[in-house]
């Protein structure tokens, strides 16, 4: 998912850290400032939190810089909203308006934030989740996604350079982050040798290539073996038709996947806005050509180094890409109605 609005600030992290010296060079200390258990069953990656003492489940979404709640959860959580006419979110299925709600206490692991304003967007809940934990929170520090172990870790390395941050000592591939947005993980990948701008988006359950990028790599809806897939949905109101095709090679850093079976869709065709001084709608943001979704993260240990502006990944096993969405997770216990 992708959110474009005024960022919701969480301030400095208050989690108590611990030092972990890497075995190769003791001068490097991987100071862990937080660790969260991640639910990896079903189509989304989620973490448990509390809003005013009530349990909520939030989708871990590096494609949305804002942490927010879905509209369908507001009444259930006993909250009220006020409109934000100048704020809109853009993503799969077009744009959506936003509102604001006030939360007395937001609790995530041993982090408690008092008197917090949160954005409200989307038409309803997604699966059993009540909202999104966005990149504005996740990318305050280096972040490690260790989904095979069901963990998300936040680090502030001390005295570490290069691959010293790959402290788990397994073979890895690395690639630099591109662009100036510090709350977005964009990298360059190769699809059939064609360079693409890919956003690493844990909020997208599957990795997806735009139709234009697929054509650049030599695949169109009429190519041999292409099959139509179910429609995709995001925060926007419109659904997006997509299809599945096989690409001979996909390359991330030094890692190459052969015969990569990927979703293809015109993801951002509805993301237009009227430019200042014009009545003609144009593209609302610089769109990626590919989303590296949760399926990629499930099969890799991923370390995002903000200081180095580099992403390190170690393949941990299993399929890298999935053309079919994982089945829904077992429903979680819902928060009690307001006033109960």
Average pLDDT, the chain: 81
The pLDDT score that the predictor gives to residue 163 is 96
Which tokens sit at 202? 């844990």
Is pLDDT of 152 > 80? Answer: yes
54 touches 48 (CB < 8 A): no
φ and ψ of 213, to 5 deg = -70, -35
For residue 219, what pLDDT band results from cuts at 50, 70 and 90? Answer: very high
Least confident of 37-46, 88-97, 183-192, 291-300: 88-97
The pLDDT score that the predictor gives to residue 162 is 95
Q: What percent of the chain has pLDDT over 90?
A: 59
Mean pLDDT of 267-279: 47
Query: From CA 196, how far away is CA 217, in angstroms rounded?
Result: 9
For the stretch 61-118, pLDDT in tens is 999 888 999 988 998 899 999 988 766 555 554 456 688 999 999 999 888 999 999 9
φ and ψ of 267, to 5 deg = -60, -40
Q: What percent of the chain has pLDDT over 70?
A: 74
Predicted TM-score (pTM) of the model is 0.81
For the stretch 123-151, pLDDT in tens is 666 668 999 999 999 999 999 999 989 99
Q: Regarding predicted confidence, which is higher, 72 or 271?
A: 72
Q: Regarding predicted confidence, which is higher, 40 or 281?
A: 40
Mean pLDDT of 284-297: 86
Which tokens sit at 213? 């990028």
Is pLDDT of 154 > 90? Answer: yes
Which tokens sit at 164? 């010293």
Which tokens sit at 209? 């290539």
25: Cβ contacts below 8 Å, ≥ 6 apart: 164
Q: CA of 37: how far to CAs of 29, 146, 295, 305, 334, in Å?
A: 23, 10, 18, 20, 19
The pLDDT score that the predictor gives to residue 95 is 52
Task: Answer positive or negative: Cα dihedral of 234, 295, 74, 7.
Answer: negative
For the stretch 175-193, pLDDT in tens is 999 998 888 999 999 999 9
CB atoms within 10 A of CB 173: 16
């Amino acid at each position: 998912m992708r959110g474009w609005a005024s960022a919701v600030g969480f301030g400095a992290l208050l989690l108590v850290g611990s030092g972990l010296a890497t075995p190769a060079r003791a001068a490097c200390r991987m100071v862990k400032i937080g660790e969260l258990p991640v639910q990896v069953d079903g189509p989304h990656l989620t973490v448990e939190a509390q809003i005013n003492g009530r349990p909520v489940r939030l989708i871990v979404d590096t494609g949305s810089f804002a942490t927010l709640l879905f509209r369908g959860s507001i009444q259930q959580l006993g909250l009220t909203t006020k409109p934000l006419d100048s704020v809109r979110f853009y993503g799969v299925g077009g744009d959506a308006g936003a509102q604001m709600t006030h939360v007395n206490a937001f609790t995530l692991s041993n982090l408690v934030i008092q008197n917090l304003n949160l954005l409200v967007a989307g038409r309803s809940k997604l699966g059993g989740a009540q909202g999104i934990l966005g990149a504005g929170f996740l990318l305050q520090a280096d972040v490690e996604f260790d989904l095979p172990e069901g963990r998300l870790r936040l680090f502030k390395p001390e005295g570490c350079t290069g691959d010293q941050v790959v402290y788990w000592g397994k073979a890895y591939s690395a690639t630099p982050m591109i662009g100036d947005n510090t709350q977005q993980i964009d990298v360059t990948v190769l699809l059939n040798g064609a360079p693409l701008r890919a956003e690493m988006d844990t909020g997208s359950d599957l990795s997806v290539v735009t139709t234009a990028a697929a054509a650049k790599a030599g695949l169109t809806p009429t190519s041999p073996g292409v099959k139509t897939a179910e429609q995709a949905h995001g925060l926007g109101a419109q659904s997006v038709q997509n299809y599945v095709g096989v690409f001979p090679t996909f390359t991330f850093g030094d890692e190459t996947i052969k015969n990569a079976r990927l979703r293809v869709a015109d993801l951002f065709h509805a993301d237009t806005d009227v430019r200042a001084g014009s009545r003609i709608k144009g593209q609302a943001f610089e769109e990626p050509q590919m989303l590296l979704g949760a399926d990629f993260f499930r099969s890799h240990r991923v370390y995002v180094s903000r200081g180095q502006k580099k992403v390190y990944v170690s393949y941990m096993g299993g399929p890298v890409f999935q053309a079919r969405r994982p089945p829904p997770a077992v429903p979680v216990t819902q928060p009690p109605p307001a006033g109960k």
